[in-house]
Amino acid sequence: MAFVAETVGGATAGCVTAPRGYFQGVRRLCDKYGILLILDEVMCGSGRMGTYFAFEQEGEGVFPDLLTLGKGLGGGYAPIAGLLASDKVISLLQKGSGGFVHAHTYQAHPVSCAASLAVQKVLRRDNLVSRCAAQGARLEDALKSTFAERKYVGDIRGRGLFWALEFVRDRASKEPFDPAIRFALRVRDEALRRGLAVYPGTGTADGLRGDHVILSPPYNASDSEFGDMVRLLREAYDVVETEVAAAL
């Protein structure tokens, strides 16, 4: 039996972070009942949070038995993913069959592995993980100062260089928009027209309703590029807010 979770929610939830102490409690329960803790850091891992693993920020004692990585592991240069296992898991395999008998066609693909290794070297050489922490704090301030009072922004959440804006019809009640309005998708379209790529999500609230967009910049983006991202996202949002307000 296993408990599986994203350390920081990704595309489905839109950069939702866990309440303080949550994963410490999960770890204790897993230890108490002999349950494996599996953390998915495909989106939030590999340095994006300002530490190489996102779980490093979840408090003392939080350590997964299995951890998945991907996306940032290869920096977009080649498809690659990885699975990390704790000593506890490895020792059980060694005491049993002696190994993990599993393979797939593109396992340990030389080009992908070479690209990923090069990315890891650049992360270390240029101190990009620490930069994610510093730039993430600036991005948080910029997003909150720009969007906190916008009519249809219900939440600004995230960590490091992984942030989301959630859009709601009513800020007080957090009532979501009707899916037919396509709020997040319209923000995506307006942003793309201006040269900014954001990741839209729908169904955030109940599987059908709910809108958010994710901003997950490159680790090495310049200060001016961060400013451009926030400015272009504001312009895109303002267009959609005006259109939606006029139609409601």
- pLDDT (average), residues 41-64: 98
Phi–psi pair at 54, nearest 5 degrees: -65, -30
Which structural domain range is residue 119 located in?
A: 2-125
Side-chain-side CA neighbours of residue 201 (13 Å): 22
d(CA 128, CA 164): 21
Report long-range pairs for 55-58 (Cβ below 8 Å, ≥24 apart).
55/7, 55/23, 57/159, 58/7, 58/18, 58/22, 58/23, 58/24
Two tokens, residue 94: 């060694």
Does residue 109 have a pLDDT over 90?
yes
Question: pLDDT value at position 193?
Answer: 98
Residue pLDDT, tens place only, 69-98: 999 999 999 999 999 999 999 999 999 888
d(CA 88, CA 162): 31
How far is C-alpha 46 from the chain's CA centre? 11
Of 125, 146, 176, which marks where a domain is finished?
125
Tell whether 44 and 150 lie within a shared domain.
no
Tell whether 238 and 188 lie within a shared domain.
yes
DSSP reduced 3-state for 68: strand
Tell whether 9 and 42 lie within a shared domain.
yes
Residue 166 amino acid letter: E
Residue 93 amino acid letter: L
Of 89, 110, 125, which marks where a domain is finished?
125
Residue pLDDT, tens place only, 137-166: 999 999 999 999 999 999 999 999 999 999
Tell whether 150 and 170 lie within a shared domain.
yes
pTM, entire model: 0.93
In sequence order, which residues have a C-beta less than 8 Å from that of residue 123 and are 6 or more positions away?
Answer: 46, 47, 129, 219
Tell whether 73 and 174 lie within a shared domain.
no
Tell whether 142 and 97 lie within a shared domain.
no
Two tokens, residue 23: 């994963």
Of 125, 153, 170, which marks where a domain is finished?
125
Phi–psi pair at 175, nearest 5 degrees: -60, 125
DSSP 103: -
Confidence of residue 103 (pLDDT cuts 50, 70, 90): confident
How far is C-alpha 49 from the chain's CA centre? 8
Number of compact structural domains in the chain: 2
Does residue 100 have a pLDDT over 90?
no
Tell whether 176 and 211 lie within a shared domain.
yes
Does residue 55 have a pLDDT over 90?
yes
Tell whether 147 and 196 lie within a shared domain.
yes
On whether the CB atoms of residues 49 and 39 are closer than 8 A, the answer is: no
Residue 121 amino acid letter: K
